[in-house]
Amino acid sequence: MYNAISISLGELVLKGKNRGQFEQKLDLQIKRVLKEKELKLYRDRGKIFIDTMEDTEGIIKEISNIFGIVMISPCIKTTLEREEIRNAVIETISYNRKEKQINTFKIMTSRANKKYPVDSMEMNRWLGGEVLNHFPDIRVDVHQPDMIVYVDIRSFCYVASQKIKGVGGLPMGTNGKGLVLLSGGIDSPVAAYMMARRGVRVSFLTFHAYPFTSEWAKDKVRQLVDLLTTYCIESTLYSINLLNIYQEIKKKCPEDESTIIARRFMMKIAEEIALEKQYDFLITGESLGQVASQTSKALGVIDAAVSIPILRPVIGMDKTEIIEIARRIGTYETSILPYEDCCSVFSPLHPVTQPKKDKILESETVLNDMTLIEEALQTLEKETFKL
């Protein structure tokens, strides 16, 4: 029945002179997701439309996870002739009555094309009357109707009965590049999703301590990146073996400071990769007060290890809120798989929660930072994921 798809944009439409750049990014991402499909993609007064006579449901499913899209509707596209619009409304109601019982309806006309000679209220009244004449067993209910028919008048008219929610946000690549420190837990995949939703093109860095951590743990991280690529379209995963650094810290540094010192090394290594690969900032899944290394004092000491900005999108969220997002984006079940990461394997029994920067720096003097970092970077592995 449908011959078009209507795509509504969110805050993208509020952009000023650089709006065109955002739109181009979004167009490219839609085309990339739809791959070889020969479809007509065009704009009409702030919306994107796709003309298609087949697999409307499949196309909607493919584009629903693209950042920047807030609503999607399968439509009947017609000319602006009133009789054609009427017929499309009748066909839409008839089609829906095959699927469910409809006793009440409401017509909602929007007139983006202000040159159209009939205003929205008059169209609602006229179309409502035509529906009542054609379906004498149903009635109008403007408050809680069983069905709403949306009539969108632009260069053409688009008649729809569904509004399918998209993920919103801004198109990927419109707000720089970020390197996510991905642990394999619940929080960091959520942090990656939230930053990608703000237009950041994210890549991932994970640390392991093989053979103390298993290949299963590395596979778990790969699974998470694969899931996040549903939204990111294309992702890069870097992995570093941190075993030698952990062993040196354990051997030469106070045990209660080992977590903070290890985190500082992670940030230093991440900064090296970010500078070489031209990432603008680091992204972590730290939530204030959740564990010993995530107190305000600890985070300050960790931040002092690098000069590159560190963004923490879940910093003010509690675990319940983070889990809710993880379930919604599909990463939760993978995140709770019981495979250890290097942080848990080498975590001290009683970590310091209020570290002092001077004390940490003094403890680090027994370590050869540059040599340890260079040796760790020699273990770098890179993998690319595509939708």
Distances (CA, A) of 77 to 4, 95, 144, 151, 171: 6, 15, 26, 10, 26
Is the four-CA dihedral 22, 201, 286, 312 of positive or negative sign? negative
Q: What is the DSSP string of 262-330?
A: HHHHHHHHHHHHHHHHT-SEEE----TTSSGGGSHHHHHHHHTT-SS-EE-TTTT--HHHHHHHHHHHT
- Are the CB atoms for 343 and 285 separated by under 8 Å? no
Tokens of residue 266, six digits: 């992670």
Answer whether 66's CB lies under 8 Å from 28's CB.
no
Q: How many CB atoms lie within 10 A of CB 113?
A: 15
Give the pLDDT of residue 340.
67
Point out the residues of the chain with pLDDT beneath 50: none
Q: What is the DSSP letter of 208?
A: E
Match 């509504």 to its residue by tokens. Answer: 8
Give me the pLDDT at residue 293, please: 84
Using a 10 angstrom Cβ sphere, with 0-12 exposed, 13-18 middle and 19 or more buried, the burial of residue 40 is: exposed
Q: Domain spanning 4-165 has what CATH number?
A: 3.30.2130.30
Q: Please report the pLDDT score of residue 12 as a whole number.
A: 76
Which residues are within 8 A (CB) of 208 and not within 5 positions of it... i.e. 6 or more apart? Answer: 217, 218, 239, 240, 241, 242, 243, 341, 342
What is the pLDDT, as a whole number, of residue 196?
A: 97
- CATH number attached to the domain at 177-386: 3.40.50.620
φ/ψ of 280, rounded to 5, equals -85, -25
- Cα–Cα distances (Å) from 306 to 48, 293, 309, in that order, read 42, 16, 8
- Please compute, for residue 289, the number of CA atoms within 13 A of its CA located in the half-sphere on the CB side: 4
pLDDT by residue (tens digit) across 93-116?
999 999 899 999 999 999 999 999
Contact 193, 330 (CB under 8 A): no
Please state the pTM of the whole predicted model: 0.91
| CB neighbourhood size of 300 (10 A) | 11
Assigned token pair, 267: 């940030």
| The predicted structure's pLDDT at residue 98 | 92
How far apart (Å, rounded) are the C-alpha atoms in residues 313 and 125? 48
pLDDT score, position 53: 80
Q: Are 201 and 177 in contact (CB under 8 A)?
A: yes
| Under 8 Å between Cβ of 157 and 151 | yes
Question: What residue spans define the domains of the chain?
Answer: 4-165, 177-386
